[in-house]
Structure 1
Amino acid sequence: MVSRYVGPIRRVNRGRGHSYVDANGAKVPGVTTLLGDGVPKPALMDWGPRVTAEYAVDHWDELGKLTPSARLEKLKKARYADRDAAANKGTRVHTLAEQLVAGKTVAVPDDLAGHVESYVAFLDQWDPQPLLVEFVVMSHRHGYAGTGDLAAYFDPQLLLDCGLAGDDPALQALLQGLADNGELALVILDVKTSRSGIFGETALQLAGYRFADVYVDEDGAEQPMPEFHLALALHIRADGYDLFPMTAGRDQHRELLYVREVGQFVTDHSRSYVGPPLSSPAHTKPRRLEVATDDRAKEGQPA
């Protein structure tokens, strides 16, 4: 397998953001970046105006004391403050979840108490046995990296009893076979804390992680990616949680690669497909357009 990147891949954290680089410092695209560039988000078209309007109503008196230019700047930045606050909360919940699943004791801030209680309830009720937590993955074959939230073993009988297989006979047979043999189901799981919940693109995200070539171990070395039986998405809220089965197979991985191509068109190629305007032919002279009117029009009557 030929790769344009040199392992091991590592994650570089910068404030609230992060990126991935190879051993030579070359930047590696991340799965969430591929999705952000290539998947339309119609909900964001409503979200921006809504958040701005809510900010204006909540800060009406304060805004009224500002100059028009300062007022405009405040309103421009309102949606980003809301976005950053949500992202910061999500990062903090993920950090605490990583410690909790490892069995560590954590100090819980008051504003995250509900989310932590929900995550503890998930751990108590499903008892996942962690294999990998917050782990970097790399697809040398397709040239992308990412960070998985959790790879863990689940009781297949518990999954069956709670209706995970649904009407899928193949998945039912797989889980029943594992249960009959006393084996556990290896699951790749993504944790979401957003108010909006789980979207279909999470399936593409999980497929990208699931079918990566390697993961990076605690020593920074690349190891072969384990084979997962299925994928789940966990939506953590202050008032509880929901666990969703996700269709994240080879078809969804192929769709992720299609999304990458669309994103590359949007970010890299689209402008280059339009050439510069042509010069006008030198041998022609511009003509002056004259509007012909009849006598009635000149006299102010309809033509």
Structure 2
Amino acid sequence: MSAFMPPIRRKQAGRNHYYVDGNGTRMPGVTTILGNGLPKKALINWAANATADAAVNGWDELAELPVATRLDRLKKARYEDRDAAARRGTEVHGLAEQLVKGERVTVPEELRGHVEAYVKFLDDWDVEPVLVEFVVASYRYGYAGTCDLIADLTMLDGRVVRWLLDIKTTRSGVFGETALQLAAYRHADIHLAADGTDQPVPEVERTGVVHVRADGYSLVPVEAGEQQLTDFRYVQQVARFDDESRGLIGEELTPPDPDGDTARVIYERPSK
């Protein structure tokens, strides 16, 4: 059982955020758990490709730099690519939150395609928001997170269906780990209401991703049931072990009599 206590609070730290419980103890975030507990095989290729792209595209400029500076520039190349993508994702999320609430927005030119794609999603599915950008927590299992959207969508047959949705802006599409993320949100104990009280997470019929791109959007169903919650909890344990494992290694031992007699090993040359 988790030792975390209500109420949960989300704290901002620059562009990042974290969660604390009623005792001021940090609660692990869902995306942090997945980042620390689940292998990211695709990131190995991405890091190599980002570095190679930086080398090829900046070949002439790099050639004029001292070797140490050149090496440092290439080491940092993948982080510059990652940070640019993260900033774009954060900006799109912020605009999406305003748009789904019916608010007017000022759109940077470089995000115009993303915003138009998201507006088309809202229009195509007659989206009626229920909860927007809200904090969830599981005191039972010890995690918290921020969910993008619960909304009612009108399906092709005219039926109105309640969805729990995450907005993604990744170039590579929707990864399988998203099922674990959505399962953690869907099966959380509570969500933090606007008045600061803990309220049950509304039940939803479906879960999925709105993949927003500069050239359009996709509504992608994702399975996020009890089995995916169980799988998330396995990943959570791996993340915990990764965080605590260094403490399992003790200090080097010294022999009880370091100045005692020392055996000598004599090596004999083999006879020819």
Under a length normalisation based on structure 1, what TM-score does the superposition of the two structures give? 0.83
1:248-276 deviation digits (Å, cap 9, x = unpaired) = 0011001000001111122212x344455
User: How far off is 1:3 after superposition?
Assistant: 5.2
Report the Cα offset of residue 277 of structure 1: 5.4
The residue aligned with 2:120 is 121
User: Which 5+ residue runs of structure 2 have no aligned equivalent?
Assistant: none
Question: CA deviation digits over 1:47-71, x for unaligned, max 9?
Answer: 1121111111222222222211111
Please tell me the root mean square deviation across aligned C-alpha atoms, in Å: 1.9
Q: Which whole-Å CA distance do the structure 2 matches of 1:114 and 1:291 have between them?
A: 78
Partner of 2:235: 259
The letter of the residue matching 2:122 is L
Structure with the greater alpha carbon radius of gyration: 1
Alignment-mate amino acid for residue 131 of structure 1: V
Question: 1:145 Cα deviation (Å)?
Answer: 0.2
User: Equivalent residue for 1:68?
Assistant: 67
Aligned residue-pair number? 269
What's 1:189 paired with? Answer: 165
Q: Which runs of 5+ in 1 are unaligned?
A: 162-178, 295-303
Alignment match, 2:179: 203
Q: Which residue of 1 aligns with 2:267?
A: 289
- The residue type equivalent to 1:54 in the other structure is D
Q: Return the match for 1:249 from 219, 225, 239.
A: 225
Q: Distance in 1 between matches of 2:261 and 2:203?
A: 70
1:4 alignment partner, SS class? coil
Cα 1:286–1:237 shift into 2, 3 Å: farther
Q: In the aligned structure 2, how far is the partner of 1:195 from the partner of 1:253?
A: 26
Q: In structure 2, how many angstroms separate the alpha carbons of the residues matched to 1:18 and 1:288?
A: 63
Distance of 2:4 and 2:190 partners within structure 1: 13
- Report the CA distance between 1:4 and its aligned residue: 2.1
| 1:280 to partner: Cα distance | 6.3
Taking the aligned partners of 1:104 and 1:115, their CA distance within structure 2 comes to: 16
Partner of 1:140: 139
Distance 2:236 2:191 in 1: 21
Q: In the alignment, what sits opposite 1:225?
A: 201
Equivalent position of 1:45 in the other structure: 44
Residue 33 (structure 1) shift:
0.6
Query: How far 1:204 moved relative to its partner?
Result: 0.5
Q: Normalized against structure 2, the TM-score is what?
A: 0.93
Superposed displacement of residue 242, structure 1: 1.0
Decide which moves more: 67-76 or 243-252.
67-76
Q: Name 1:6's counterpart in structure 2.
A: 5
Comparing both structures, which one devotes a greater share of its residues to helix? 1
Q: Distance in 2 between matches of 1:293 and 1:80?
A: 61
Whichever residue aligns with residue 196 of structure 1, its letter is S
Instruction: Give the counterpart letter for 1:233 in structure 2.
Output: V
How big is each residue's C-alpha offset from its partner over 1:101-127, in whole Å with a ceiling of 9 and x where there is no partner? 001111111100111111011011001
In the TM superposition, residue 22 of structure 1 has moved relative to its aligned partner by: 1.7
Question: Structure 2 vs 1, CA of residues 33 and 287 (structure 1 numbering), >3 Å: closer, same or farther?
Answer: same
SS at match of 1:197: coil
Identity %: 52
Summarize deviations over 1:165-188 as a string: whole Å, max 9, x none. xxxxxxxxxxxxxx4xxxx32210
Aligned mates of 2:2, 2:40 — CA distance in 1: 31
Deviation at 1:143, TM superposition (A): 0.7
Tell me how far 1:129 sits from its aligned partner: 0.7
For 2:52, the aligned partner's letter is A
CA drift of 1:202 comes to: 0.4
> Which secondary structure does the structure 1 equivalent of 2:229 belong to?
helix
